[in-house]
Structure 1
Amino acid sequence: MSYLQIVILSLIQGAAELLPVSSSAHVILAERLMGLDPSAPELTFLLVMLHTGTMFAVLGYFWPRWKLLFLPPGTAKADMVRPSRFHFLKMVFLATIVTGVLGLGLKVLIEKVILMRLLGHEKGEVEQLFNNLPLIAAALLGVGLFILVSGFRRAKVETNVVRPWPSFLIGTVQALCLPFRGFSRSGATISTALCCGISRPLAEEFSFALAVPLTPPVIALELHRLLQARAEQVDTAVIHLLLPGLVGMVLSFLAGLVALRFLSAALERGGWKYFGFYCILAAGFVLVVAFSTN
């Protein structure tokens, strides 16, 4: 894998991870077009580092708001801000629990029932769905339509508080995104929040607060895939993997910060719906690539 390919993947992952356009769909498509092997250890390690970079971008971008949780008690600002911030944190915890429980259940359903029993696969793994371009195209189309609905639908009254029921719904939708590459997590969760009448800035913040506890398991899963590869070069050429990984992490971090600023501006200026149009066009392009490569 060349450094040019590393730069391309890093910028794609960093930007698309934090925009509602599905980073996984873009990365899988880029891998296919560049002729890269998605099971290669160096590519798996690079993806681990790219996820780490985007997680730090989220933490850095929202830290001015999230650090209010750590204000020393007893000050006027702390007494005013901490209750709302702790409520926000409780709703993030609720949505994360819902995502974890439903996500694991959905994984078992897909692997044990759909793949093994209905489709007859000897070894059912949800990862078998990841590189299916027609399925990715369908997911992009679905999330694009969802974004359009939430973009054109404006709540009569917007709230600046996330209640338990919307938090439960957002956690449920996030769980449904996990097995399907192309169904953007941020696109689906922000759209759900907007449909529940949550204000746009809070919808964005809540969606990415959910990404923070979700990212470490994703990184762990990628590392597990790396260990499963049992490649000798992982043991003998750690430096060979580490340097490209660090370059990718820095680039994905920077691209992620730019993407978050762009997303905030788009939400503020009513440009959310345009991401829906983009996802629909991307779905068509993925289908073209799928049929042309076959």
Structure 2
Amino acid sequence: MDLLHVFILAVIQGFAELLPVSSSAHVILAEKLMGYDPSAPDMTFLLVMLHTGTMFAVIVYFWKSWKKTYFSSWESFKKQAFYIILATLITGVLGLALQSIIKHVFFGGASSFEIEHLFSNSKLMAAALISTGVLIILSSRLDRGQSGEISLRSASIIGAVQALCLPFRGFSRSGATISTGLFLGVSRQKAEEFSFALAVVLTPAVILKELYRLVHAQGLQTVAHGQVFHSMVLSLLGMCFSFGAGLLALKWLSSWLEHGRWHLFGLYCIGFAIVVLCVN
């Protein structure tokens, strides 16, 4: 892996992550075209670090609106923080349960199974992309500009839907959670804010998991030779590149969501699913 490839992947990630088109699917396809194994520990860690760059872009972009929604008063902060924590806990519990089901039903309970093994399955990725596309299109058609707020019910359901996105690359987290919010009558702005607030909470835990996986897989001898350090440096640079691209993408997302063009992202997901199948 060299700096040019990291830069290309970071730009793809930065633009695709904050649009509901599954950045993971785009990055994984690009990795395959470059000859890399998307399920390898250093590549999954790079992907997570690229997500981190866009996470910081989210914080910078949404900070003003979050201050009004989440930090306007102590009562508002407690209520919104509870919803975010509740949704995240539901995501964690259901996500682990789903991973266990996949492991025992489809992999015979193999001790060597890791959920990252699914990342190289192009057919599964295409199916997830199509599912996201259909979900986005349906939510766009049913959206009538509702003005609802996040509630206990909507936070719980959004958290459950987010859990379905974790093991399946191609099932866009932002696309699924924002669409679910629209289905439940949440306003476009509130659904967008809540979706990306969940992303900010979820990302650090994923980073720690992938860092552990990288060190554990490559072993102490590799660490001594500096290969893990090299991977981390490139991943940090990629994080910076994806941060810049992510800020530009957020303006695009907000504009299309607020001006009734949400369905176009769904059409793109379906079209990209066909590309994934053709390339592989």
* TM-score, normalised with respect to structure 1: 0.87
Q: CA deviation at 1:114?
A: 2.9
Assess if the C-alpha contact under 8 Å between 2:38 and 2:120 holds in 1. no
Looking at structure 1, the residues matched to 39 and 97 of structure 2 have their Cα atoms a distance apart, in angstroms, of 26
Provide the residue aligned with 1:254 in structure 2: 244
113, 126, 132: which one aligns with 2:115? 126
Q: Give the secondary-structure state (helix, strand or coil) at the position aligned to 1:130.
A: helix
**1:124 aligned partner, one-letter code:** F
Q: Give the secondary-structure state (helix, strand or coil) at the position aligned to 1:230.
A: helix
Provide the residue aligned with 2:106 in structure 1: 114
Distance 1:274 1:46, change over 3 A: same
Looking at structure 2, the residues matched to 44 and 164 of structure 1 have their Cα atoms a distance apart, in angstroms, of 33
Q: Give the secondary-structure state (helix, strand or coil) at the position aligned to 2:62.
A: helix
210, 214, 237: which one aligns with 1:226? 214
Q: CA deviation at 1:113?
A: 2.9
Q: CA deviation at 1:204?
A: 0.4
Superposed, 1:130-279 pairs within 5 Å as: 130-155=119-144, 158-230=146-218, 232-237=221-226, 240-279=230-269
Q: CA deviation at 1:43?
A: 3.4
Looking at structure 2, the residues matched to 147 and 214 of structure 1 have their Cα atoms a distance apart, in angstroms, of 22
**For structure 1, which segment, 12-21 or 131-140, has the greater mean C-alpha deviation from structure 2 after superposition?**
12-21
Q: Which has the larger radius of gyration?
A: 1
* TM-score, normalised with respect to structure 2: 0.91
Looking at structure 2, the residues matched to 38 and 236 of structure 1 have their Cα atoms a distance apart, in angstroms, of 23
Looking at structure 2, the residues matched to 228 and 242 of structure 1 have their Cα atoms a distance apart, in angstroms, of 14
In the alignment, structure 2 segments of 5+ residues that lack a partner are none
Provide the residue aligned with 1:14 in structure 2: 14
Provide the residue aligned with 1:101 in structure 2: 93
Assess if the C-alpha contact under 8 Å between 1:91 and 1:167 holds in 2. yes
Q: CA deviation at 1:27?
A: 1.1
Assess if the C-alpha contact under 8 Å between 1:29 and 1:286 holds in 2. yes
**1:252 aligned partner, one-letter code:** S
**1:223 aligned partner, one-letter code:** L
**For structure 1, which segment, 254-263 or 106-115, has the greater mean C-alpha deviation from structure 2 after superposition?**
106-115
Q: CA deviation at 1:51?
A: 2.4
Q: CA deviation at 1:86?
A: 3.3
Distance 1:7 1:148, change over 3 A: same
Distance 1:41 1:165, change over 3 A: closer
**1:10 aligned partner, one-letter code:** A
Q: CA deviation at 1:23?
A: 1.3
**1:92 aligned partner, one-letter code:** I
Instruction: Report how many residues are paired.
Output: 278
